[in-house]
């Protein structure tokens, strides 16, 4: 490992280096992440995501390294310093809810609050009443865990982690044990936490869909190393990463609501470089909106298309074309009217035949036809 970076007393974020060696596996990472927003760890099983999370939590006894969180040194193996987990002001949410089965929801949450009072004297930045409201569990407080659905149990587990008033929240595939219906139930609550609580989150996931909905930043793992890191919109649009080869490859755009058409139940949304019509419930003008566009729902036209059922036809420029995957390939498009710089990126999955028939080239001005746009938050 390289020499640890100097301690920066007012550093805003996570600065870490870790080395863990097991038979047949080694984790070796050098990490600098902002102390705000959601940073997603994405990669295949066994790539080191959960091991790094456990190192940050102080749960990996074989890990040697260095960890500073917002200027506070939590670990420095070179000096024999390693704060135990209970002295690190963090919350940890696992795949399974792991609630105390003999305690009601209210008493599970009280356990978290009492732990915070012991380890962090003084005022707490997170009010339990606010967490209960954000996660929609007020009506569950007197129930026992065996009377909760899977999604309800996980919401309570998240609330219990937040009841400790953590300065950092670690989430290890919190939706992995849930079916699609329960995931759809809980994701809006996670989005509310992202929007309304100023607690940085490190979020382990296998799901590009979850990451697209929640993440501000992404770390891509492979073989115990961080292979790519950056803003989520940039990482998801990189054609050289495995994410682009996934059948669900997509991009997302952040924007704001311009208007709502009640007759057709459509939102008109301004995103960088374009305006989109998106199905959705009423939202007031100015409301924040994140939309996901799957590569399979984008086609490319030369010139302005004629009359069509497709509502979203966007001026774009071809920025990159990926390697062929059988009969198909991915194209990275910059949303940009002629003569302007690309303000945002989307992906299109087309056939090699279409590329050759249209004689597509890098830098060419085209129109992206977006068949379906999913409103994510």
Could you tell me if 197 and 314 lie in one domain? no
pLDDT at 347 (0 to 100): 94
Residue pointed to by tokens 């004689």? 359
For residues 26 and 94, membership in a common domain is answered with: yes
Question: What count of other Cβ atoms lies within 10 Å of the Cβ of residue 306?
Answer: 6
Could you read off the pLDDT of 179-192 as tens digits, one per residue? 888 888 888 888 88
Tell me: do 78 and 218 sit in the same domain. yes
Q: Tell me what pLDDT residue 342 has.
A: 74
- The reply to whether 136 and 166 lie within a common domain is yes
Q: What pTM value is reported for the model?
A: 0.85
pLDDT in tens, 236-278: 888 888 777 777 788 889 899 999 999 999 999 999 888 999 9
Q: Which one, of 211, 119, 104, 207, lies nearest residue 159 by Cα?
A: 104
Question: Hey, how many other C-beta atoms are within 10 angstroms of the C-beta on 181?
Answer: 10
Q: Do 24 and 159 belong together in one domain?
A: yes
Are residues 170 and 199 located together in one domain of the fold? yes
Residue 340: its pLDDT value, please?
Answer: 73
Give the CATH number, domain containing residue 214. 3.40.50.300
Per-residue CA distances from 27 to 22, 50, 68, 80, 153 (Å) = 9, 11, 18, 20, 32
Specify the pLDDT at position 376: 65
Residue 6 lies in a domain: no
Last residue of one domain, picked from the residues 236, 259, 276: 236
Q: What is the CATH number of the domain that holds 307?
A: 2.40.50.100
For residue 228, give both structure tokens: 């790519």
Cβ neighbours for 142, distance < 8 A, ≥ 6 positions apart: 104, 105, 106
> Counting beta carbons within 10 angstroms of the beta carbon of residue 304, is it exposed (0 to 12), middle (13 to 18) or buried (19 or more)?
exposed
Q: 3-class DSSP state for residue 38?
A: strand
Q: How many degrees, rounded to 5, is the angle at CA 216 between CA 285 and CA 323?
A: 110
Q: How far apart are CA 39 and CA 52, in angstroms?
A: 13
pLDDT recorded at residue 281 = 87
Domain that holds residue 285: 250-375
Is there a single domain that holds both residue 59 and residue 181? yes
pLDDT of residue 349: 94
Do 298 and 335 fall within a single domain?
yes
How high is the pLDDT of residue 309?
87
The count of domains in the chain is: 2
CA dist 300 and 331 (Å) reads 9
List of the chain residues with pLDDT < 70: 1-11, 115-126, 374-377
């Amino acid at each position: 490992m390289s020499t640890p970076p100097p301690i920066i007393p007012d550093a805003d974020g996570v600065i870490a280096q870790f080395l863990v060696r097991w038979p047949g596996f080694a984790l070796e990472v050098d990490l600098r992440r902002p102390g705000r927003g959601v940073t997603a760890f994405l990669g295949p099983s066994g790539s080191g995501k959960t091991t790094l999370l456990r190192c940050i939590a102080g749960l990996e006894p074989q890990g040697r390294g260095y960890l500073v969180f917002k200027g506070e040194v939590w670990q420095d193996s070179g000096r024999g310093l390693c704060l135990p987990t209970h002295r690190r002001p963090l919350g940890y949410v696992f795949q399974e809810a792991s609630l105390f089965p003999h305690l009601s929801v209210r008493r599970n949450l009280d356990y978290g609050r009492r732990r915070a009072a012991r380890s962090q004297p003084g005022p707490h930045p997170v009010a339990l009443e606010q967490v209960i409201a954000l996660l929609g569990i007020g009506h569950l407080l007197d129930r026992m865990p065996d009377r909760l659905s899977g999604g309800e149990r996980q919401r309570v587990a998240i609330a219990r982690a937040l009841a400790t008033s953590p300065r950092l929240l670690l989430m290890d595939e919190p939706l992995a044990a849930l079916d699609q219906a329960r995931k759809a139930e809980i994701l809006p609550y996670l989005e509310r936490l992202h929007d309304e609580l100023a607690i940085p989150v490190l979020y382990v996931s296998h799901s590009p869909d979850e990451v697209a909905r929640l993440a501000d930043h992404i770390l891509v793992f492979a073989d115990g190393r961080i292979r790519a890191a950056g803003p989520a919109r940039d990482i998801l649009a990189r054609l050289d990463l495995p994410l682009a080869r996934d059948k669900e490859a997509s991009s997302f755009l952040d924007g704001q609501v311009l208007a709502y058409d009640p007759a057709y139940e459509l939102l008109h949304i301004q995103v960088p470089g374009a305006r989109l019509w998106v199905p959705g419930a009423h939202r007031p003008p100015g409301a924040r909106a994140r939309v996901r566009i799957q590569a399979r729902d984008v086609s490319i036209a030369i010139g302005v298309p004629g009359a069509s059922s497709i509502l979203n036809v966007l001026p774009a420029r071809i920025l990159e074309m990926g390697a062929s995957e059988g009969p198909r390939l991915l194209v990275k498009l910059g949303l940009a009217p002629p003569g302007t710089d690309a303000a945002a990126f989307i992906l299109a999955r087309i056939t090699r035949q279409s590329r050759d028939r249209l004689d597509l080239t890098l830098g060419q001005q085209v129109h992206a036809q977006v068949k379906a746009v999913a409103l994510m938050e």
